[in-house]
Structure 1
Amino acid sequence: MGSDVQNFHLPDMSCGHCVAAITEAIHELDAAARLNFDREGRHLQVEGSSKSRTELAAALTEAGYPPSHA
Structure 2
Amino acid sequence: MAIKNYTVEGMTCEHCVSSVKEEVGEVAGVSAVDVTLETGSVQVTGEGFTDEAVEAAVTEAGYKVVS
TM-score (norm 1): 0.80
Tell me which of 11, 24, 27 is aligned to 1:29: 27
* SS of residue paired to 2:44: strand
Aligned pairs, number: 67
CA drift at 1:35: 1.3
Gaps of 5+ in 1: none
Between the aligned partners of 1:28 and 1:47, the Cα distance in structure 2 is: 12
Structure 1 partner of 2:54: 56
CA spacing shift, 1:32–1:57, aligned 2, 3 Å: closer
CA drift at 1:32: 4.6
Tell me which of 15, 18, 21 is aligned to 1:17: 15
Q: Percent identity?
A: 28
* SS of residue paired to 1:13: coil
Between the aligned partners of 2:47 and 2:62, the Cα distance in structure 1 is: 20
CA drift at 1:38: 1.6
RMSD: 1.7
CA drift at 1:54: 1.0
